[in-house]
Structure 1
Amino acid sequence: MRNHFLLPHKYKAFGWVLLIIGLISGILLYATDFEPDMLKTSVLSIYNGDSLFSGTDKGWFKIIENGIIDELSALAIIIGGLLVGFTREKVEDEFIYQLRTESLVWAIIVNYIILALAVIFVYDMVFFNVMIFNMFTPLFIFIIRFNFLKLKSNSHDE
């Protein structure tokens, strides 16, 4: 079976490395609020200010100084997760395609159930933190479920 949207299998190991590095650095950054000055640089900000409607002179499309370690961690998680989730398996057949599809649908449904519960029960800045984590949960749920089902099917085959 030919899946045009999947990357070659050789990228999966690199994806795991990026994902693990991103997760470790992201957890450390979140837990410690540490941001080293060595990764502070000038970056283009599409909007710089506290609010889109604040009326301040901060404005649109500004060059600002920013620590980029959190952005690098997020990109490592996103790119690593996409590589892990969307590279071909060594044997990519219709069963794997079905597991992949079911896992993706399941991940989206579970993600939005979690989000709906957060909208109802979580408020203020804690909700903002939930939204940050919610960027990554579809990928995490998909990767965990897909690999769990794949492992489960392999153990039944033996």
Structure 2
Amino acid sequence: MSETQIRSAFLDDEDELAQLDRETWSPLHAVSARPKEPFDPFFDATHRPEHFLVAEVAGRLAGYVRVVSSTSLASNAHVRQIQGLVVHEWARGRGVGRALLRAAAALAREQGARRLRLGVLGWNDAARRLYEAEGYVVEGVLPGEFLLEGSYVDDVRMGLDLTT
């Protein structure tokens, strides 16, 4: 098995990242509608390449994580948020998601963050187990926050203390 390499995203990754999003979209983890044609650009004013870390296995794009400031408030500048973790189906079970989470935490620490948080759908047990294995703890639950596929689904808020 090839080792996972993590790097910052480049503007040239846009088409491949957009394709990955289309191929991996699922109501298990997505709260937005299924992508439709024509496709919107992957990068835009609020989704810039510098917000993304990309995982490659044997030179092949395997996934990404998006790490952003939690809010624009100065009083919240010590918090980063993961807003998207995607791993291609062929790369699952190879430690790619774990490598991306660890890289996201390292990046957040480099940026001076003390906390890293994320939201995960209540029915996404596999993701929740991964986050918990990486030290994230449930900090709150928004019951029935999303109506997906005809079911109300909890939004589970999890966080990681970056000072330890």
TM-score band by shorter chain is: under 0.3
TM (normalized to structure 2)?
A: 0.24
Between Structure 1 and Structure 2, the one with more strand by share is: 2
Normalising by structure 1, we get a TM-score of 0.25
Q: Which has the higher helix share?
A: 1
Greater Rg by CA = 1
Higher relative contact order (CA 8 A, sep 6+): 1
